Chain A
Amino acid sequence: MAAPPPADEPGRLARYGVGGIFLLPAVVILGVWILYPTVYTLIRSFFSASGSQWVWLDNYKTLFTTSALLTAIKNNVIWVLVVPAFVTSIGLVFAVLTERVPFAVAFKTAVFLPMAISAFATGITWRIMYLQDPSQGAVNALGRVAVDAVKSPGVLPDASPSTPTLTGSPATGLVLKTPLHAGGVARLGLTAIAPTDVPKTSKQAVAPVAKPGEIVGVVWRDFKPGGGVAGKVEQGELGLPGVTVQLRSGGKTVQSTSSNADGTFAFTNVKPGTYQSAIGASTFNKPWGGFAWLGTKLITPALLIAYIWIWAGFAMVVISAGLAAMPRDVLEAARTDGGTEWQVFRRVTIPLLWPVLTVVLVTMFINVLKVFDLVITLAPGSSQNAANVIALAMWRTSFGGANDFGVGSAIAVFLFLLVVPILALNIRNFKRDAI
């Protein structure tokens, strides 16, 4: 009974026949969708864009000499260096910490939730959150709350002088060039103020009448439909109430007042001497404009943050499972021997968890090498060159308008070659685990 039955002809046929039938579906599926495309891609990578000409290694030469493709390779290197390390360490920290908190399940669910959203939807969501205008993008909105708390925005952030007699810049305040004396009149005309930004209490601007011993003036929206005459208070032009107007002498502010509904203001009891009239810089404080997360400079960091946000939950769950399976007695023993929590974590937990951490790291390496969907959805067209990664470059070259299947195939082969060593490592690990 111990020895296998002799391999007589009908038995072997039946055995192989049945085996073959059961294998057939898998072989067909793998052949049609894996093997044939792989081999064809390899062959195609030696042909020209139209597929009519054998071009030897020209496509590979293009791959390593085109700057857009080199950027993709460079970016992939950044991805590989940053993402697996961050995802694994954040996942590890979360996994260890959630072991000690009472609401662990809720916390884990929240961290894992991004995994349940398609990367496509994630890309679009983050793209909206990253919008530069703080009134639209959530990330910059947080920044604006912080920045504006320190420096509050002025009432007329976009205004600019209507005539060259007003000098200076919105950052230092606008100063009327013409010197003033008691009995003088100051006309401070401003433009580029949207009708909706004019305060509701505003009334028709009034040209001030000079009074002895006073310096009077008007600050108004020097614009009426068609433009009007710059520097002249005209019918249809509105006064700007609530603007802080200063009277300066020798560079110092001696008096300060606020304009009325019709834009007029007056400085009384003006002593003899030369003065200048100015609108303080605080009036023009611009609200914080936000970071250009989606611009060419910040797009890769922005993508990395979103990607780590997606995958940290995955790492946490896998590592949690590893922690749960870890023999507690070893930890207890280490603590009994007088090890601090940090020492236990560093010398016992991590070495014991190492096989699990490798699985996470390797999975992330492979995922990161083929990252595509997040980049194409999150990065706007104008930043896609800067955000390019190998898989996206492959798609853009093959289908993004150029329709160059030659170079596209070469990129695919290159990407495949990059994944192979990691894949081999993974298979070796699996085999070792199996034994």
Chain B
Amino acid sequence: MKRHSLAIAALVVISALALTACGSSKKAASTASTTQTTSSSANVAGSIIFDGVWTGAEAAAFQAVINGFHTQYPKVTVKYKPVGDNLPTVLSTAVAGGRPPDMADIAQPGLIQQFVDKGALKPIEYARSAIAANFAPAWLKLGTYDGKLYGVVFKASNKSLVWYNAHAFKAAGVTPPASWTQLLADAKTLKSSGVPAYSIGGSDGWTLTDLFENIYLRQAGLAKYQALSAHKIKWTDPSVTAALKTMGQVIGDAGNLAGGTSGAVQTDFPTSVNNVFQNPPKAAMVFEGDFVPGSATVKAKAGTDYGVFPFPSIGGSAPAVEVAGDSLVAFRDTPAIQAFVKYLATPQAAELWAKRGGFATGNHSVPASTYPDAISRSNASAVSKATSIVFDMSDQQPGSFGATVGQGEWGIFQTFLRNPSNVSGVQQQLETSATAAYKKGK
């Protein structure tokens, strides 16, 4: 009896296998059958398989963008596959296996560079003029790898923000600070009022690297930031020392942190947001990007319960914005893909998502009125108007240094959070880890 059922199960699995095999070969055939010689939009035909990181509401928003494309190009079908956060792994294995999707959106510039090195990506130079018409030159620079344009940031997020609890600010009698010295003074006042100033999500190492990067961008400037991102200057550089010391002004006093140092190390990002958004709050401020309100699981109203201000200037530095962005890249080159890439650079495409909220773009042709509320409008305009734009530094570095849980930069910044006085030791560790990661990347 048991053996029979096993054999039946085996047969079922085999036939299922055969079916999926048929399915995927059909898919491949339709991808290949893209027509080659058309110019007018009505005649461009083909299909595009798009693997993306957006899921849930974000996937629905991107589907709306695709539908907008479909009305212009009725003969092109775009199939969006919401892969989620595992996208880098999925794409890496797909590229290794020789069967990547047609297009994808990649959040890690380091991964794009890796694919460019392998020759897996196709340049999108054909869209250069379309992008230049709507984006500041800094954005074209962000999409350029080895001298060629490979990507355009479709969805950006502003990571140079500080969120605060409006009630805590009111009770302490402070207003959003514009400068670093004012921030430190406000932190002191907040502490006296009985609310620790900062909530740090130290269990997720990336919140710490983001804080460091924002400080470094303002203190050391754009050129140094880019040099450090590419490991052209060492982590033992005096500019890093200075930035770490500045960071120590925030994390150095355990009384300023929600839960003290030990609490901060164990707090994950969503909890760090709730600490600030709940009432009464456990801390007054949390540093992170425009996705913060979406991570809160407590009820809080924009304006009355919480507010946001740009990361303060340090020593009179000019406004600068650190962005994380999902870059569109193409693994193939067909008229259908070219049409889709050009379409995504238009303000019409961006507006379809912008009006749904949770979206910012470097596309300056998108009117501010498109954004649904005041907070997303101001965050988005900071992104589209900024001239000093940098990518998240850790996203640009090799993954083993910039994006591995508990290791490399994330792990070392957690050590720094535990003991903020050990600046030079932390610099040594960072340099050793970075050197190893860059060597391995080659």
| CB–CB A385/B14 < 8 A | no
Q: Which residues of B contact A384 (CB under 8 A)?
A: 405-406
Check: B52 CB closer than 8 A to any chain A CB. no
Instruction: Check B14 against A25 for contact (C-beta < 8 Å).
Output: yes
Q: Are A197 and B194 in contact (CB under 8 A)?
A: yes
Check: A250 CB closer than 8 A to any chain B CB. no
Q: Are the C-beta atoms of A381 and B173 separated by less than 8 Å?
A: no
Q: Mark B421-442, 1 if CB is under 8 A from A, else 0.
A: 0000000000000000100110
CA distance A405 to B262 in the complex (A): 34
> Chain B 363-399, CB within 8 Å of chain A: the 1/0 string?
0000000000000000000000000000000000011
B188 to chain A minimum Cβ distance, whole angstroms, is 8
Given the interface pairs A401-B405, A403-B92, the reply to whether A226 lies near B194 with Cβ below 8 Å is no
B164-177 to A contact mask, C-beta < 8 Å, 1/0:
00000011111000
CB of B203 within 8 A of CB of A401, answer no
B171 touches A225 (CB 8 A): yes
Known: A192-B255, A225-B171, A401-B399. A380 touches B192 (CB 8 A): no
19 contacts between A and B (CB under 8 A): A25-B10, A25-B14, A133-B263, A158-B194, A192-B192, A193-B194, A194-B195, A223-B192, A223-B194, A224-B173, A225-B170, A292-B266, A381-B268, A381-B405, A381-B414, A383-B203, A383-B406, A384-B405, A400-B404
The answer to whether B440 touches A404 (Cβ under 8 A) is: yes
> For residues 187 through 202 of chain A, which have their beta carbon under 8 Å from a beta carbon of chain B?
191-197
In whole angstroms, how far apart are the Cα atoms of A404 and B96 in the complex? 13
A49 CB-CB contact with B under 8 Å: yes
User: For window 379-404 of chain A, which residues contact chain B by CB distance below 8 Å?
Assistant: 380-385, 388, 396, 399-404
The answer to whether A382 touches B11 (Cβ under 8 A) is no
Q: How far is the CA of A51 from the CA of B117 in the complex (A)?
A: 13
Looking at chain B's contact residues, the main secondary structure is helix
- Taking CB atoms, residues of chain A closer than 8 Å to B406 are 68, 381-385, 388, 396
| A22 within 8 Å of B (CB atoms) | yes
Give the chain A neighbours of B404 by CB distance below 8 A.
396, 400-402
Given contacts A51-B96, A132-B262, A381-B203, contact A225 B172 (CB under 8 A): yes
Instruction: Identify the closest chain A residue to B90 (Cβ).
Output: A399
Which of B96, B262, B411 makes the CB contact (< 8 A) with A292? B262
Cβ-closest chain B residue relative to A191: B192
CB pair B265 A295 closer than 8 Å: yes
Chain B residue numbers with a CB within 8 Å of A197 are 194
Residue on A with the closest CB to B267?
A380
Q: Tell me, in angstroms, the Cα distance from A46 to B403 when the chains sit together.
A: 24
For window 57-109 of A, CB contacts with B under 8 Å fall at 68
> Which residue of chain A is the closest to B91 with respect to CB atoms?
A403
Q: Give residues in A with beta carbon < 8 Å to B.
A: 22, 25-26, 28-29, 49-51, 68, 131-133, 158, 162, 191-197, 223-227, 292, 294-295, 380-385, 388, 396, 399-405
**Which residue of B has the minimal Cβ distance to A226?**
B173
Chain A contacts of B192 at CB under 8 A?
A: 162, 191-192, 223, 227
Interface contact A295-B266, CB-CB below 8 Å: yes
- In whole angstroms, how far apart are the Cα atoms of A22 and B192 in the complex? 78
Residues of A within 8 A of B13 (CB): 25, 29
Q: How large is the interface on B (under 10, 10 to 19, 20 to 34, 35 or more residues)?
A: 35 or more
Residues A401 and B403 in contact, CB atoms below 8 Å apart: yes
Query: B189 contacts A402, CB within 8 Å?
Result: no
CA distance A295 to B262 in the complex (A): 8
Query: Which residues does chain B contribute within 8 Å of A162, judged by CB atoms?
Result: 192
Q: How far is the CB of B436 from chain A (nearest CB, A)?
A: 9
Q: Write out the residue numbers on chain A whose beta carbons fall within 8 Å of the beta carbon of B437.
A: 402
Residues from chain A with a CB closer than 8 A to the CB of B441 are 49
A383 CB contacts on chain B under 8 angstroms: 203, 266, 406
CB–CB B440/A49 < 8 A: yes
- How long is the Cα–Cα vector from A385 to B262 in the complex, in angstroms? 16
**Once the chains bind, are B400 and A401 in contact (CB under 8 Å)?**
yes
Mark each residue of chain B from 190 to 208: 1 if its CB lies under 8 Å from any CB of chain A, else 0. 0111110000001111000
Closest to B189 in A: A227
Q: Which of B4-23 contact A (CB under 8 A)?
A: 7, 10-11, 13-14
Report the minimal beta-carbon distance from A23 to chain B, rounded to whole angstroms: 10
Q: Is B134's beta carbon under 8 Å from chain A?
A: no
- The answer to whether B88 has its CB under 8 Å from any CB of chain A is yes
Chain A proximity of B273: nearest CB distance (Å):
16
How does the 8 Å CB contact mask read for B264-281 relative to A, with 1 for contact and 0 for none? 011010000000000010
The CA-CA distance from A400 to B408 in the complex, in Å, is: 12
Contact A227 B173 (CB under 8 A): yes
Contact of B266 among A158, A227, A380 (CB under 8 A): A380
B200 to chain A, nearest CB (A): 11
Q: Which of A22, A51, A380 contacts B203 (CB 8 A)?
A: A380
Bound complex: CA of A168 vs CA of B383, how far in Å? 50
B407 adjacent to A385 (CB under 8 Å): yes
| A226-B189, A400-B405, A403-B89 as given contacts; A380 in contact with B268, CB under 8 Å | yes
Which residues of B sit under 8 angstroms from A385, Cβ to Cβ?
Answer: 406-407, 411
B259 within 8 A of A: yes
**B218 to nearest A CB, angstroms?**
26
Chain A residue contacts of B173, Cβ below 8 A: 224-227
Given contacts A29-B14, A50-B114, A194-B280, 13 further A-B contacts (CB under 8 A): A132-B263, A133-B263, A162-B192, A191-B194, A194-B195, A223-B194, A292-B262, A380-B203, A381-B268, A382-B202, A396-B404, A399-B86, A401-B399
* Chain A residues, Cβ within 8 Å of B172: 225-227
- Encoded as 1 (CB less than 8 Å from any A CB) or 0, chain B from 239 to 271 comes to 000000000000000010001001101101000
Q: State whether B205 touches A381 (Cβ < 8 A).
A: yes
Nearest residue, chain A, Cβ from B169: A225
Which of A133, A158, A193, A381 lies at the interface centre, i.e. has the most chain B CB atoms within 10 A of its CB?
A381
B2 within 8 A of A: no
- How far, in whole Å, are A403 and B114 apart by their CA atoms in the complex? 11
In the complex, B287 has a CB within 8 A of chain A: no
Tell me the bound Cα distance from A408 to B175 in angstroms.
50
Is A403 a contact of B399 with CB atoms below 8 Å?
A: yes
State the CA gap A132–B264 with chains docked (Å): 11
Contact of A382 with B414 in the complex, beta carbons under 8 Å: yes
**In the assembled complex, B410 has its CB within 8 A of some CB on chain A:** yes
Residue on A with the closest CB to B195? A194
- Let me know if B259 and A133 touch, CB within 8 A: yes
Q: Which residues of A contact B405 (CB under 8 A)?
A: 381, 384, 396, 400-401
Name the residue of chain B whose CB is nearest to the CB of A294.
Answer: B266
- What's the minimum C-beta distance from A298 to chain B, rounded to whole angstroms? 11
Chain B residue at smallest Cβ distance from A52 = B118
Residues of A within 8 A of B11 (CB): 25
Closest A residue to B92 using CB positions: A403
A195 pairs with B171, CB closer than 8 A = yes
Q: Contact at B189–A22, with CB atoms within 8 Å?
A: no
Q: Measured between C-beta atoms, what is the minimum distance from A128 to chain B in Å?
A: 11
Closest to A236 in B: B173
**CA of A295 to CA of B11, assembled, Å:** 49
Contacts of B203 in A (CB 8 A): 380-383
**Cβ–Cβ < 8 Å partners of B280 in chain A:** 194-196
Contacts of B171 in A (CB 8 A): 195, 225
**With A191-B192, A227-B192, A396-B404 given, is the CB distance from A382 to B265 under 8 Å?**
yes
Question: Of B193, B255, B440, which contacts A195 at CB under 8 A?
Answer: B193
- Taking a contact as CB atoms closer than 8 A, the residue among A68, A196, A294 that contacts B407 in the complex is A68
B407 near A396: Cβ-Cβ < 8 Å: yes
Cβ contact within 8 Å between A223 and B193? yes
Identity of the chain B residue whose Cβ is nearest the Cβ of A32 in the assembled complex: B17
Lowest 6 A-B CB distances belong to which pairs? A225-B173, A226-B173, A25-B10, A194-B194, A402-B400, A401-B404
CA distance A380 to B410 in the complex (A): 13
Q: Could you say which residues of chain A place their CB within 8 Å of the CB of B114?
A: 50
Nearest B-chain residue to A159, judged by Cβ: B194
